[in-house]
Chain A
Amino acid sequence: MAATRAAGFARARVELLVLPGLLIIVALFLYPLVSLVGISVYEKGDWTLRHYQRLIDVPAYVRVLQRTLVMGAATAFLCLLLGYPLAYRIATTSGRVRAALIAGILVPFWTSLLVRTYGWMVMLNPQGILNKALISAGVLDSPLTLINNTTGVLIGMTQIMLPYMVLPIVAVMVRLDPALMRAARILGAGPVRAFLRVYLPLTLPGIMAGVLLVFTISLGFFVIPALLGGTSDILLAQLVEVNINSTLNWGLAAALSTLLVVTTLILYAIAHRYFRVSALWGDIR
């Protein structure tokens, strides 16, 4: 009886511990967010959808939205191409090699985004390391344009997003029973067939989570397209910034932000069905 009362008392107090954080997030984050959504639909005392209408009507804006979706999809594709074999190697080795491979993924993950983007500027510019190396090796006659265009953005985004692809796929691969592949081989399937019919379908949840995560996070990217991309082919986040800092069109910036947040949260919810997204930032061992 006394114990129950004590436990009940402790419970009542312990749930109050959520309040400081909740208060800060609601007052200093959610309120500003909701009020930003507000100015996208409410103006001078009236409800309006005209900012959203402009996103559909102005061809330049439509192109920015399309380009953002295409770049997100292309980044996800490239990350899958590079990340799946890496994930397979991590899942099928152990000990030091595995630890080294995981460190190879996590160390860049922990390195400043700005540093890595600057590193690509150093690597890829016409006077940069890559062009100089290719020219002195006789592969090229004149430098390739790898920066201030779509190529630069894709290279930068793929490098930044690769861990988000690899970690969910590894999480699925390490849980697979290796006996399934042996069974497929014993029953007469060749290595390619066993991979395509058994292994690949079983790792599909990891692939889905990785692709969705990379695509989703890519939609909101600002730093990489701003530094590695050209001035003519901007993405959604840059259009938001231009509307705040240059054209001072808060209504349109708010509509773009709302569109981005709603899309992002829906995609996270879908990705969460395949993979516990929070595991990326601390749960994986």
Chain B
Amino acid sequence: MKRQRDWSEGALNVFVGLVLVFLALPTLAVIPMSFNSAELLVFPPPGYSTRWFKTFFQRPEWYGAAINSAIIAVLTTIIATAIGTAASMALARSRFRLKGAVAVVFLLPMMVPAIVTGVALYRSYAVWGLAGTIPGLVLAHTIVALPFVVINVSAVLNRMDWRLEQAALSLGASHLQAFLRVTLPIIKPGVMAGALFAFLTSFDEVVVALFMTGVDTVTLPVQMWAGIRFEINPVVAAVSVMLVGLSAFVFTVYALLRRSQP
């Protein structure tokens, strides 16, 4: 009986280990390729070098795309976090007619497939002169990122004790003071988590950007897309390694914020 149980537990652990390898495999595979000295995707690489990282920092089409992405992601993060936090406050604190419907509207950009969002926004934004511009991309990414901010901030707001804010108000604080001095410090981990989500969503977003970028506003994922789909450009491997590093860093910050939540 005991032996049979050990056997099945062991088999389960081996299986789970293999699934985890499967999950990590593609991310790990890009690391040796980024230090590849050859022009082609050959494994094992014939030699090792850092030439593709150098190429990235020498070519304006690559570092320029990274700069565009950084500008767009930072602006998206600021706008989406401010607007999303405000909306979460309204949804958590007030009761109004159609509140349920409004909450669903805030989640819609997350549920609508990216290809549809890309096509729909491209068509309207082209008419408004926003397609191919940085403001157009920031607005599109703000919309895509908003649900993640609302979800993360709402999760904290729903666990918060409102009497703390009421106490501040009854002791003479204005609404703004009560929000800035009492509520915001309490919900900060949720706001920060939402901001991190918004940043990565924008920085990694490719499908909507494929439709929305112009010649001068190519983002890093769009440049990578071109480097993968139409040629096999080894710079993509170097960029991938840097993006994995960025994701790992952001995830670590997120995990630490999680732990500090009430």
Contact = CB atoms under 8 A, between A and B. Distances in A.
A101 B19 CA distance: 11
Contact of B12 (A28, A29, A88, A223): A88
Given A15-B96, A20-B83, A282 B193 contact: yes
Given A21-B86, A111-B243, A127-B41, A35 B124 contact: yes
Contact of A129 (B29, B112, B170): B29
B221 A112 contact: yes
B83 A24 contact: yes
Given A14-B90, A127-B40, A250-B123, A112 B204 contact: yes
B229 to A, nearest CB: 6
B102 interface: yes
Interface string A252-268: 01100100110011001
Interface residue SS majority, chain B: helix
Given A25-B105, A112-B221, A132-B44, A122 B30 contact: yes
B117 A29 contact: yes
Interface residues of A, number: 85
Q: 4 closest Cβ contacts across the A-B interface?
A: A220-B113, A119-B26, A32-B124, A18-B90
24 contacts: A14-B93, A17-B87, A21-B150, A22-B105, A29-B143, A35-B124, A89-B12, A110-B247, A114-B228, A117-B228, A118-B26, A118-B240, A119-B26, A123-B29, A159-B25, A223-B206, A227-B228, A237-B113, A244-B211, A264-B111, A264-B113, A265-B112, A281-B110, A282-B152
Interface of A: 3, 6, 10-11, 13-18, 20-22, 24-26, 28-33, 35-36, 82-83, 85-86, 88-89, 101, 103-108, 110-123, 125, 127-129, 132, 159, 162, 191, 217, 219-223, 226-227, 237, 240-241, 244, 250, 253-254, 257, 260-261, 264-265, 268, 278, 281-283, 285
Interface of B: 4-5, 8, 12-13, 15-16, 19-20, 22-30, 33, 40-44, 83-84, 86-87, 89-91, 93-96, 102, 105-117, 119-125, 139-140, 142-143, 146-148, 150-152, 155, 169-170, 175, 190, 193-194, 197, 200, 204, 206-207, 211, 221, 224-225, 228-229, 236-237, 240, 243-244, 247-248, 250-251, 254-255, 258
